[in-house]
């Protein structure tokens, strides 16, 4: 592309990423589990919420600035933790973290990232959030927490909904691996992705940087695959959350909350924030969309902890919808991944600009000037999920 100014919404990035990113990695980002019903509902249910247009309101002095966990943010949006981000674009986590830093919003690094905690700290030299999966090897978890502390991470995002892996048909059929296995099918696909290949040849970061060389017995790709298959911990419980919170000692965000009772457990566990999340529709297919679950969780815990939401956010209008139903902020995953795959760091920065502009203009046309003014009265039909 000659100019990112010609990219005007997230769907433009998605089309470019589909052309530039190898199929297995594009599909990894752009898919859900089983029938993908929940994955699709995350986006389509947001579109059911209609705005109430207002006129003759002074909207000259608007701002979409907010705070997330006490941190000033250009808008109430954070970059979500996403695995294999460095396979959408070479050094992808570093580039996305730099984009978030430049724009003024939080970046969250996944445990299953290609670039390591230390990579992000060295390149951004500013605090970021780190997302933790609970593994059976508790000594490895302790070491990850200590590494996040040493990197000056400002919050720990503990994901609770991956005790077992949801079946993701596309990943299975594609033979997902990192780096891609040199099969004829993969080599033919890579031959059609010269941009991706040229960028990937410039880096040596091609596998899980937080794991290889750090976890016991994991020194190469073959040992990594065995370790990963055995490590996700089905015994995870609220006692483990308490132990992790104590070990961490800082601000903690609990991610994967879809039920009001679990939200109350999270509050009781001392969560500084929770994320209403169904893992982007990649875990329990048939679960409700996150926007459908949000009002019940807000009703149960509003005011006791900050509430964020992810899943289906593709525009500033979607951010507005979530805020109107009580979220304090949102996290974006696929939106920034499409932009990263399409155009690297510049793509992510443009993605954030687009979302900010859409939020600002839509808020203005609803007659609102500040994020704190956004309530259910922005929407024509806010009660459609109250009886869900």
| 10-37 exposure pattern, b = at least 16 Cβ within 10 A, e = fewer | bebbbebbeebbbbbbbbbbbbbbbebe
Question: Sign of the C-alpha dihedral, residues 58, 64, 70, 71?
Answer: negative
Would you say 71 and 95 are in contact if contact means Cβ atoms under 8 Å apart?
no
Calculate ∠ Cα 194-200-204, nearest 5°.
160
Beta strands in 302-369 (DSSP E): 306-309, 329-332
Scan for tokens 């297995």, then name that residue. 24
Active site residues: 279
Using CA atoms, how far apart are residues 233 and 282, in angstroms rounded to an integer?
A: 17
Peptide linkage before 199 cis (omega within 30 of 0): no
Beta bridge partners of 203: none
Pinpoint the alpha helices (H) of 107-182. 117-124, 138-150, 169-174
For helices 316-324 and 334-365, give the axis angle rounded to 10 degrees: 70
Task: Single out the residue of 366, 134, 369 nearest to residue 248, CA to CA.
Answer: 134
């Amino acid at each position: 592309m000659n100019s990112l100014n010609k990219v005007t919404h997230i769907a433009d990035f998605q089309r470019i990423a589909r052309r530039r990113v190898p199929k297995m990695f594009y599909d990894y980002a752009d898919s859900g589990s089983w029938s993908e019903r929940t994955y699709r509902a995350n986006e389509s249910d947001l579109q059911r919420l209609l705005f109430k247009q207002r006129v003759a309101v002074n909207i000259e002095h608007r701002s979409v600035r907010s705070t997330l966990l006490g941190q000033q943010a250009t808008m109430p949006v954070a970059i979500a933790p996403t695995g294999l981000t460095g396979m959408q674009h070479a050094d992808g986590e570093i580039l996305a973290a730099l984009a978030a830093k430049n724009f003024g919003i939080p970046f969250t690094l996944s445990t299953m990232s290609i670039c390591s905690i230390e990579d992000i700290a060295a390149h951004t030299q500013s605090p970021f959030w780190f997302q933790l999966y609970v593994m059976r090897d508790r000594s490895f978890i302790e070491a990850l927490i200590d590494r996040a502390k040493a990197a000056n991470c400002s919050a720990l995002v503990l994901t609770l909904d991956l005790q077992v892996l949801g079946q993701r048909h596309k990943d299975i059929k594609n033979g997902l691996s990192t780096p891609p296995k040199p099969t004829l099918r993969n080599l033919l696909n890579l031959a059609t992705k010269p941009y991706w290949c040229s960028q990937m040849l410039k880096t040596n970061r091609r596998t899980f940087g937080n794991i290889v060389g750090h976890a016991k017995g994991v020194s190469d790709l073959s040992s990594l695959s065995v370790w990963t298959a055995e490590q996700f911990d089905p015994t995870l419980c609220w006692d483990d959350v308490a132990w992790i919170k104590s070990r961490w000692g800082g601000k903690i965000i609990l991610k994967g909350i879809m039920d009001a009772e679990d939200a109350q457990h999270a509050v009781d566990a001392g969560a500084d924030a929770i994320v209403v999340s169904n893992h982007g529709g990649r875990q329990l297919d048939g679960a409700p969309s996150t926007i459908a679950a949000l009002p019940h969780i807000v009703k149960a815990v509003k005011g006791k902890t900050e509430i964020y939401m992810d899943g289906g956010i593709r525009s500033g209008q979607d951010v507005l919808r979530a805020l109107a139903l009580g979220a304090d902020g949102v996290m974006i995953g696929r939106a920034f991944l499409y932009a990263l795959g399409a155009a690297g760091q510049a793509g992510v920065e443009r993605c954030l600009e687009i979302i900010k502009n859409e939020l600002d203009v839509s808020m203005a046309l609803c007659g609102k000037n500040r994020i704190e003014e956004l309530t259910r009265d922005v929407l024509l039909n806010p009660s459609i999920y109250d009886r869900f």
